[in-house]
Structure 1
Amino acid sequence: MSWLILILSGAFEAVWAVALSKSEGFTRPVPIAVFVVAVVISMGGLGYALRELPVGTGYAVWVGVGAALTVVYSLATGEESFSLVKVALILGIVGCVVGLQLVSQGH
């Protein structure tokens, strides 16, 4: 269950990162509200997951999921230019996240 919560928390990291960029320096109320809610959910989930998972692995997975989803969102919306190298690097992050989960199952 901790792994699922950690992955979902990483997804909310992507939500708050995008909301932060849309807030235009904390001047737009709706993105600010989305940012605050997403940060609370993301950090709360990370904290919950770290009760059972090692902090280094948990944090790396949380950041990896958030970073990968943020880049995927940016590519999908056209805010960032598409390249095969970016896709390959995102797949590398995903592979590392899966690898960390696999080697940490015995913990």
Structure 2
Amino acid sequence: MAWVYLAFAGLFEIGWAIGLKYTEGFTRLVPSLLTALSMIASVLLLGLALKTLPVGTGYAVWTGIGTVGTAILGIVLLGEPATLMRLACIGLIVAGILGLKFAAP
């Protein structure tokens, strides 16, 4: 169950990272509230996952999911560049996440 919590924590991590862009410096109420709720949900779910997962593994996977998801949504939603080097680096992060998942006790 810890991995499920961690996966959802990572998704909320993506939500608040992308949400920051839409808050326009926390000047827009609804995006700001949704972003804050995503932050809280992300950290709470991470805390639940870390009850049984090693902290190094859990934190690295959490930030990795957030990093990969945010980078991909930045490309898709915000028109950020999708260079070969950038996509290769995203692939390396995914490989690291999978490595940590399968190496975890």
- After TM superposition, is the score higher than 0.5? yes
Q: Give 1:58 deviation, angstroms.
A: 0.4
Counterparts of 1:1-107 in structure 2, within 5 Å, are 1-104=1-104, 107=105
1:88 partner letter: A
Cα-Cα RMSD: 0.9
Q: How many residues align?
A: 105
Instruction: For structure 1, list consecutive stretches of 5 or more residues without a partner in the other structure.
Output: none
Instruction: For structure 2, list consecutive stretches of 5 or more residues without a partner in the other structure.
Output: none
Give per-residue Cα distances to partners, 1:13-46, cap 9 Å, x unaligned. Answer: 0100111121111100111011111111101100
Write 1 or 2 for the structure with the bigger share of helix: 2
Identity value in percent: 40
Q: Give 1:4 deviation, angstroms.
A: 1.6
Q: Give 1:97 deviation, angstroms.
A: 0.4
Q: TM-score scaled by structure 2?
A: 0.95
1:77 match: secondary structure: helix
Q: Give 1:7 deviation, angstroms.
A: 1.4
The CA distance in 1 between the partners of 2:17 and 2:54, in whole Å, is: 24
Higher mean C-alpha deviation, range 60-69 or range 77-86: 77-86
Q: TM-score scaled by structure 1?
A: 0.93
> Deviating runs (4+, > 2 A) in structure 1?
none
